[in-house]
Chain A
């Protein structure tokens, strides 16, 4: 594997680490199987790209993209909490709706950002100033993004509201009996989770130079693979370790992908990526000791 491929994998690992953190909130904290992410990831990309192309400040555009993701997560949670639609179905409905909405936002299936100023432009300028290559500096930048988000999330989950949110996902009856409005916690948590995913989508589009309406396909499975892989790696007991595991899992995933694609003797090509991911996740779910096995294998009891 070349250095460029290696650093590219690290870079993707940090970006998708944000997705993994979002999925950690919905799946692990709230016990809410949320497929909205397949729509909120490209939504973040679409909003930021459309606004940047229209001449808005890239930081403002990215911020609005995050708000868009929050709204998407909120809608899914609202369908579940207020209209009592099954959580999985509620998230599928939002995901499908977002496909149309994302096309509307961009006005076409994809938007190029290559020539535009993005949130990464200042860092590219910095790289030029320092005399290092862009691909060397970018992993550091995304590392910083991921670390800041990780610590903010740790801080939040250690607060009274954060603990209330964790109780909601763990035992909602107990939560209500202790004065926690569990519905509000699900609305808040789902908004946070999808806001994070939209943020990842926005910076992914800006780093790749384009936003595409189909770029969200399978994000949920990649995110899950990261969360599961990270948990297998660290078997975290504390929140700080669990969020670290999400990011490490994501890096591990992209390194593995990069390795597999670069090893010609395996014969894998880029289009096999989603198949391989799906098989990996399926394997991870049936492995003994998987915390996810309880969540995804119930209803399939023999």
Chain B
């Protein structure tokens, strides 16, 4: 369960560049829910994720994950609870380490690292089995450098890596936006399978309203650092992109072009 209360984040405070990225954002996500987050540029989507992961420290507000207040935890400590997949396929893995070494790093997420071997034949078998589900032939390339893989392959492996250890929250940051449409669809299907199998509480930021309606259980829209739209269940079923735009305009009295969302 994720409970974000009245979160405020301001960049460049006290200067002419001052921007309020999150303006008292509150969000409650029950366990196992898959939430899609949309919003235009500067709406606070990325800041919300960075505040949750600890890369950005909020001025005020609370972040509670599974009844633990993690507001003061440094970023590496939060990883025991939060798994991430980044937008940039190159950001989620180390290109000059091998596939199995990258997986081993993710395998140790949230655990204490010691001087035991990073890779044993047991974990290697486990990695091979996990990779084989991708059907990309990577199970035979465990010793290859990550940098040899394509963006889509790396993103698929990053997703697997994020699910190697249990976590209270999986955060996906536009993780398909840098991929070509065919690979993006493949990665989204994989996302859906992994989330369902592990019953993961998921927060997926996406640039595509279509994706935000097709996947997950709930769609929220951010604007001006707040949640301005929140639909789930029956109200969400059968909803189309134009409906979403209309709902936003009604709720906010502001005109919204689909472009601004797509670009965000």
Interface of B is mostly: loop
- Is the C-beta of B224 less than 8 angstroms from some C-beta in chain A? no
CA–CA, A173 and B119, complex, Å? 22
CB within 8 Å of B: which A163-185 residues: 163-164, 166-167, 170-171, 173-182
Cβ–Cβ contact A177 & B79, under 8 A? yes
Q: Of all chain B residues, which has the CB nearest A168?
A: B94
A159 neighbours in B (Cβ, 8 Å): 114-118
Cβ–Cβ contact A171 & B94, under 8 A? yes
Question: Of B6-14, B95-103, B176-184, which stretch is located at the interface?
Answer: B95-103
Interface residues on B, range: 20 to 34
**Which of B76, B106, B111 neighbours the largest number of chain A CB atoms within 10 Å of its CB?**
B76
**Contacts across chains A and B counted by CB atoms under 8 Å:** 82
Q: Of all chain B residues, which has the CB nearest A171?
A: B94
Q: Of all chain B residues, which has the CB nearest A28?
A: B96
**Which of A163, A179, A182 neighbours the largest number of chain B CB atoms within 10 Å of its CB?**
A179
Q: Of all chain B residues, which has the CB nearest A177?
A: B84
B114 neighbours in A (Cβ, 8 Å): 159-161
Flag B42-73 by CB within 8 Å of A: 1 or 0 each.
Answer: 00000000000101000000000000000000
Give A266 Cβ to nearest chain B Cβ, in Å: 38
- Is the C-beta of B91 less than 8 angstroms from some C-beta in chain A? yes
User: Which residue in B74, B80, B94 is a CB contact (below 8 Å) of A166?
Assistant: B94
Q: A166-B94, A177-B84, A179-B80 are in contact. Are A161 and B109 (CB under 8 A)?
A: no
B84 neighbours in A (Cβ, 8 Å): 177
Cβ–Cβ contact A176 & B75, under 8 A? yes
Cβ–Cβ contact A178 & B117, under 8 A? no
Flag A193-205 by CB within 8 Å of B: 1 or 0 each.
Answer: 0000000000000
Cβ–Cβ contact B115 & A170, under 8 A? no
User: Which residue in A160, A175, A179, A181 is a CB contact (below 8 Å) of B118?
Assistant: A160
Cβ–Cβ contact A164 & B105, under 8 A? yes
**Which of A158, A163, A175 neighbours the largest number of chain B CB atoms within 10 Å of its CB?**
A163
Cβ–Cβ contact A174 & B76, under 8 A? no
- Is the C-beta of A162 less than 8 angstroms from some C-beta in chain B? yes
Give B108 Cβ to nearest chain A Cβ, in Å: 6
Cβ–Cβ contact A179 & B76, under 8 A? yes
Cβ–Cβ contact A179 & B77, under 8 A? yes
B97 neighbours in A (Cβ, 8 Å): 163, 166-167, 170
CA–CA, A173 and B79, complex, Å? 12
Q: Of all chain B residues, which has the CB nearest A170?
A: B94
CB within 8 Å of A: which B113-133 residues: 113-119
Give B33 Cβ to nearest chain A Cβ, in Å: 22
CA–CA, A174 and B109, complex, Å? 11
A6 neighbours in B (Cβ, 8 Å): none
**Which of B77, B101, B110 neighbours the largest number of chain A CB atoms within 10 Å of its CB?**
B101
Give B211 Cβ to nearest chain A Cβ, in Å: 23
CA–CA, A269 and B90, complex, Å? 49
- Is the C-beta of A156 less than 8 angstroms from some C-beta in chain B? yes
CA–CA, A160 and B115, complex, Å? 6
A-B contact pairs, 24 of them (CB 8 A): A159-B118, A160-B108, A160-B117, A161-B114, A162-B118, A163-B97, A163-B105, A163-B118, A166-B94, A170-B95, A171-B95, A175-B94, A175-B105, A177-B79, A177-B92, A178-B105, A179-B76, A179-B79, A179-B80, A179-B110, A179-B111, A181-B74, A181-B76, A182-B76
Taking Cβ atoms with an 8 Å cutoff, the residues of B that contact A are 53, 55, 74-77, 79-80, 84, 86, 91-97, 101, 104-106, 108-111, 113-119
Known: A177-B75, A177-B84, A180-B113. 15 other contacts (CB 8 A): A159-B114, A160-B108, A160-B113, A162-B115, A163-B97, A163-B105, A164-B108, A170-B96, A171-B91, A173-B91, A174-B105, A176-B55, A176-B75, A178-B79, A178-B106
